[in-house]
Amino acid sequence: MNKEHPKINFGKTGVLLINLGTPDSTKWLDIRKYLKEFLSDKRVIEVNPFIWKIILNLFILNLRPSKTAKAYKEIWMEKENMSPLRYYTIMQTKKLLDRISNKDLIVDYAMRYGSPSIKSKITKLHEAGCERLVVLPLYPQYAAATTATVCDEVYRVLMNMRWQPSLQIIPHYESEPLYIKALSNSLNLKISELNWKPDLILASYHGIPQKYFDKGDPYHCYCHKTSRLLSEEFKTIEIKTTFQSRFGPEAWLKPYTDKTLENLPNEGKKNILVICPGFSSDCVETLEEISIQGKESFLKSGGKNFDLVPCLNDSEDHINLLEKLTKKFL
């Protein structure tokens, strides 16, 4: 062997879990930095880029960070000094590693927006000798604004590498039996803890603009597929699909979660349980938007009882699912 040849690590496989992202803190500047990266993604905001850049920099990034910071402060994990989304993504990574660990396998995580970036983690895995890369986007239901933009960023990183690893991206898993069973188990567990019976279960998914669906995005269909399969597994209480987190003046997928919660008491549905199947970890959209804002709105409208089912987070059922999804490609 040529003694002058540089040392090269090789022969390993890297598994990379990728979630949406989170600010590094609740400080205004950190929130603004995160929002700028997120809202600059053309997969997320499909409008004229020149016009959007002006709106984003002159208005949104000067006004929205304060509101967003307030929301994050409501749910920030003070002891761990991080958001719940980061905490649970770290725990998912650690627990998955415990399940599938071997000397030739490295399991890590990245965020599409914020830190740690996809670029930094792929570079780290490559330097550690990973010739194979298995990417798991933590979005059960495919959408261009979630799964596809993760793929975009992974491809961009690989395009600039001289020695590319082989790549496998694990597909969406909205109908995977272990996923549906995990959701059903989480419903049963939460209901067993309640001293009241829900009149209705809302399955609330993150929304997308209606025009994205009209252009062919399958996300709406995948959400309804999950809800249908969950209803078949969990037959004791009706499940209704709604969409949350709309942004801006244009129409998004309906029915809207917030409007539904306001109207349900008038329809005689005063005891409501909400589950958010599209979120792999609890985050600001579940813990603040639903559990705080949604609950307050529902009770003010005449509701009596309200609760939120925790996301699958780092539960054993969820790790079982992640293990099965990953092992298919190892």
Alpha-carbon gap, residue 165 to 124, rounded angstroms: 12
**Phi/psi-derived region of residue 176, left when phi > 0, alpha when psi is between -120 and 50, beta in every other case:** beta
How much is the pLDDT for 211? 98
Q: How confident is the model at residue 2 (pLDDT cuts 50, 70, 90)?
A: low
Q: How confident is the model at residue 221 (pLDDT cuts 50, 70, 90)?
A: very high
Domain 177-308 annotated CATH 3.20.20.60: no
Percentage of the chain modeled with pLDDT above 90: 96
The whole-number average pLDDT for the span 300-315 is 98
Q: How confident is the model at residue 290 (pLDDT cuts 50, 70, 90)?
A: very high
Quick check: 3 pLDDT over 70? Answer: no
Question: Mean pLDDT for the chain?
Answer: 97
How much is the pLDDT for 1? 54
Quick check: 272 pLDDT over 90? Answer: yes
How much is the pLDDT for 4? 73
pTM of the predicted model, to two decimals?
A: 0.96
Instruction: Note the pLDDT tens digit of each residue in 113-129.
Output: 999 999 999 999 999 99
How much is the pLDDT for 253? 98
Same fold, 12-173+318-327 and 177-308: yes
How much is the pLDDT for 7? 79
Q: Residue 55 corresponds to which amino acid?
A: I
**Phi/psi-derived region of residue 21, left when phi > 0, alpha when psi is between -120 and 50, beta in every other case:** left
Instruction: Note the pLDDT tens digit of each residue in 27-80.
Output: 999 999 999 999 999 999 999 999 999 999 999 999 999 999 999 999 999 999
- Give me the residue spans of the domains in the chain: 12-173+318-327, 177-308
Quick check: 5 pLDDT over 90? Answer: no
The whole-number average pLDDT for the span 130-155 is 98
Percentage of the chain modeled with pLDDT above 70: 99
Quick check: 6 pLDDT over 90? Answer: no
How much is the pLDDT for 126? 97
For domain 12-173+318-327, give the fold: Rossmann fold (3.40.50)
Quick check: 254 pLDDT over 70? Answer: yes
